[in-house]
Amino acid sequence: KQEVTQIPAALSVPEGENLVLNCSFTDSAIYNLQWFRQDPGKGLTSLLLIQSSQREQTSGRLNASLDKSSGRSTLYIAASQPGDSATYLCAVRLFGANSKLTFGKGITLSVRP
Amino acid sequence: EAQVTQNPRYLITVTGKKLTVTCSQNMNHEYMSWYRQDPGLGLRQIYYSMNVEVTDKGDVPEGYKVSRKEKRNFPLILESPSPNQTSLYFCASSLMTGFAYEQYFGPGTRLTVT
């Protein structure tokens, strides 16, 4: 059974720092991995999607990498801003008919001004 | 605008009173799914559908029903809600062909059952 782990559960950093959020998964036979952002009580916003054949994806100040063999992904946020404060979730999709995403519990990021 | 919509966004109800949460997408996606999100448990899949009239159970289907009569709609039905179904519910959709299979999520429905 696929398990997705995100540690630590919470992180507080001063504005301007570059930071890395980690995600690990137990079954390396994934189809893709998505990083989401969730603001308190709100929906999920897709940030980046990495196919299993890819190593990284970039969007603005965000860069996500994928190492299937070690079961790890990282989300790099450059020059963090208070507006980046949110919960960041990673989710993996396995091969198969059910496109179910298995989610980590998320990392709650607070960027202090 | 491509989107997944859910209604209602907030609902407070009493135990045993049947309710339906609607979900609709305008992207012609084949795949649709319902998740619930609970503190400490994260997001878990309730039901999914790979196309019209094709539905199947996810990880936590007990107490829920779904139907897929049209491609764009995938309602979640609670025939007899109980307090342990108090949760934040998300509908999601994606293509089943092509390369990306990116999933798009609705804004969420916060349900409270008293």
Q: How many CA atoms lie within 13 A of A79 on its CB side?
A: 2
Averaged pLDDT for residues A6-30: 95
For chain A, what is the mean pLDDT?
93
The per-residue pLDDT for A43 is: 87
pLDDT tens track for B47-90: 999 999 999 999 999 999 999 999 999 999 999 999 999 999 99
Q: Report the chain B residue with the minimal C-alpha distance to residue A33.
A: B102
What is the per-residue pLDDT for A31?
87
Q: Whole-angstrom Cα distance, residue A50 to residue B98?
A: 14
In chain A, which residues have their Cβ closer than 8 Å to the Cβ of B58? 98, 100
| For range A19-38, the mean pLDDT | 94
Contact B45 A101 (CB under 8 A): yes
Q: What is the pLDDT of residue B56?
A: 93
Instruction: Quote the pLDDT of residue B98.
Output: 57
Q: How far is A100 from chain B, CA to nearest CA, in Å? A: 7
**What is the pLDDT averaged over residues B28-40?**
93
**pLDDT score, position A98:** 77
CB A80 within 8 A of CB A13: yes
Q: A109: Cβ–Cβ under 8 A, 6 or more apart, which residues?
A: A10, A11, A12, A13, A19, A21, A77, A80, A84, A85, A86, A87, A88
Quickly list DSSP for B32-63: EEEEEEETTTEEEEEEEEEETTEEEE-S--TT
- Cross-strand bridge partners of residue A38: A44, A87
Task: Indicate if the alpha-carbon torsion angle A69, B98, A2, B22 is positive or negative.
Answer: positive
- Selected residue of B74, B101, B109, B111 to mutate for chain A interface (largest A Cβ count, 10 A): B101
Question: What residues of chain B have any CB closer than 8 angstroms to a CB in chain A?
Answer: 31, 33, 35, 40-43, 45, 48, 50, 56, 58-59, 88, 90, 92, 94, 96, 99-108, 110
Average predicted confidence (pLDDT) for chain B: 93
Residue A102, pLDDT above cutoff 60: yes
Residue type, B34: W
| Percentage of residues of chain A with pLDDT beyond 70 | 99
Rounded average pLDDT over B7-12: 96
Contact predicate A77/A70, CB 8 Å: no
Distance CA(A101)–CA(B32), nearest Å, equals 12
Residue A29 binned pLDDT confidence (cut-offs 50, 70, 90): confident
Residue A81 pLDDT > 60? yes
A96 or B43, greater pLDDT: B43
Q: Do A100 and B50 touch (CB under 8 A)?
A: no
Nearest to A84 by CA among A8, A26, A12: A12
Are the CB atoms for A104 and A3 separated by under 8 Å?
Answer: no
Tally of helices (H runs) and strands (E runs) in chain A? 0, 11
Q: Which of B59, B102, B110 sits opposite A46 (nearest CB)?
A: B102
